[in-house]
Amino acid sequence: MSLYGHSPFYFSMLRKYVVLFGMIFNDIRITEDDADGNEISLIRVPISYSGRDKNLLRVDMKDGSPEAEGAPPGFLMFPAMGFALTGITYDGNRNKSTVGRVVRKNDDDLNKLKSQYNAAPYNLTFSLHIMSKNVEDGNKIVEQILPFFRPHFTTTLNLIPEMGIVKDIPVNLDSVDFDDRFRGDLRERRNLFWTLTFTMSAYFYGPIVSKPIIKISNTNFYVGTNTDIVDTVVTTISVTPGLDANGNPTTNADATIARANIAVDDTFGYIETWTDNTDANTSS
């Protein structure tokens, strides 16, 4: 058993948010121009999940060419982008009632409902690193991003498919920093880094709980004040759902299918059964 007595649960939430962030920037393209400003090629800027320190290490290896001695698979080529999840903080401003729930039909058991409590809101901090060997390439990439963040960009994510929970996820651009790593003599290559910091408004959900549906209601009418004595019950009213074999609502107890086969989202009728305990006569 896991925390608070629940069975282990996992909805891949962090993975979904990381993939979502990467997908926002996975199709950025820039042009390569000749000396006269004519387009000679279209470059799709690669993006990978990697932190700034790792990217700096890859940049420092040899001269950056794919044939460089000791270059590992996936050696960094320019221009390129890398991103990483750098922090998680609770966001009380988006908190909802802790007793609120999302309730759905249980397709595996018609006699049960699935429920899940309101999500806990958290902010995820991401860093996006843009690396280029000249100022112009870096500028072209940054200008593909900035116009769409004012200061946030919103996309939709299917968070919990089995509960039908789909939410709009805002991604806010917090800051933009520039770093020119040119150092050494004139033979050294110039490495330019842009670092963009973002905050994603995320949600984390607890376990899905499946509980039985109430399909029968009994109401007892008493005389006197001592309800502990069974004989004081003079009338009992039972209410159950009614649905015929064609899926039509019914109030006829003889025409209905078994209540175990009636789903919560069926359009059913209500069958009232009165029991008179004074003379043991029953009518429906």
Give, in order, the Cα–Cα distances in Å from 238 to each of 39, 127, 245, 261: 80, 61, 22, 18
Of 116, 121, 123, 129, whose CA–CA distance to 181 is shortest?
A: 129
DSSP 113-129: EEEEEPPEEEEEEEEEE
* pLDDT higher at 81 or 231: 81
Task: Give the Cα separation of 13 and 169 in Å (integer).
Answer: 12
Q: Give the pair of three-digit tokens for residue 96.
A: 């909802």
Give, in order, the Cα–Cα distances in Å from 53 to each of 25, 50, 59, 204, 214: 20, 8, 10, 29, 57
Domain boundaries, the chain: 3-210, 215-283
Residue 30's DSSP bridge partners are 43
pLDDT tens for residues 226-256? 655 555 777 889 999 999 999 999 999 999 9
Task: Domain 3-210: give its CATH superfamily.
Answer: Myoviridae tail sheath stabiliser (3.30.2000.40)
Q: What are the φ and ψ backbone dihedral angles of 64, each rounded to 5 degrees?
A: 85, 0
Q: Say if residue 68's pLDDT is above 50.
A: no
The type of residue at 104 is: R
Q: Say if residue 136's pLDDT is above 70.
A: yes
Q: Check the CA dihedral 93-99-104-108 and report its sign.
A: positive
Q: Say if residue 105's pLDDT is above 60.
A: yes
Of 181, 205, 210, whose CA–CA distance to 193 is shortest?
A: 181
Which long-range contacts (C-beta less than 8 Å, at least 24 apart) are formed by 90-99?
A: 90/120, 90/121, 90/122, 90/123, 91/121, 91/122, 91/123, 91/201, 92/121, 93/121, 94/121, 94/201, 95/120, 95/121, 96/121
Q: Say if residue 167's pLDDT is above 80.
A: yes
Chain mean pLDDT for the chain: 83
pTM: 0.75
Per-residue confidence (pLDDT) for residue 202, from 0 to 100:
97
Q: Give the pair of three-digit tokens for residue 177.
A: 């920093």
Task: Give the Cα separation of 118 and 64 in Å (integer).
Answer: 49
Q: Say if residue 139's pLDDT is above 70.
A: yes
Task: Give the Cα separation of 98 and 223 in Å (integer).
Answer: 42
In this prediction, residues 217-225 reach a mean pLDDT of 79
Q: Give the pair of three-digit tokens for residue 19.
A: 């993939």
Q: Give the pair of three-digit tokens for residue 49.
A: 């999940």
Give, for 103, the enclosing helix (H) or strand (E): strand 101-105
